[in-house]
Amino acid sequence: MDKTLRCTVCTWRGAWAEAAAVRVQPAPLPPVLEELQHAYEEKQLEEEQLGGHKPPACPVCGNHTLAVKLHRSHAAA
């Protein structure tokens, strides 16, 4: 399983394993972004409790990443 992740703060995008291999201190963020990070944190905790895996932090800025959903087509759902 090698999911693609993208950072919610910077422009980093890469493999799950790549992010998991690196640990950085989260960069200081403006309050608005901090709030967003907390929202992501809560969402990820929920997913973890449902048996999901919490994505590792961004290897560049240390903030939250999201799994990139790979769309096979542009067909509307």
How many C-beta neighbours within 10 Å does residue 9 have? Answer: 19
Q: How far is the CB of 43 from Zn ion (least distance, A)?
A: 17
- When the beta carbons of 10 and 51 are compared against Zn ion, the nearer one is 10
**Where does the chain show beta strands of DSSP type E?**
4-7, 13-15, 65-67
The tokens describing 13, both together, are: 């995008």
Rounded-to-integer distance, Cα 68 and Cα 16, Å: 10
Please tell me whether residue 7 binds Zn ion under the rule CB under 5 A: yes
Give the x-and-dash track for 53-72 against Zn ion (CB under 5 A).
-----x-xx-----------
Rounded-to-integer distance, Cα 75 and Cα 43, Å: 27
Q: Which of 3, 4, 6, 12 binds Zn ion (CB under 5 A)?
A: 12
Q: Interacting stretch for Zn ion, rule CB under 5 A, among 12-20, 28-36, 45-53, 69-77? A: 12-20
Q: What residue ranges bind Zn ion (CB under 5 A)?
A: 7, 9-10, 12, 58, 60-61
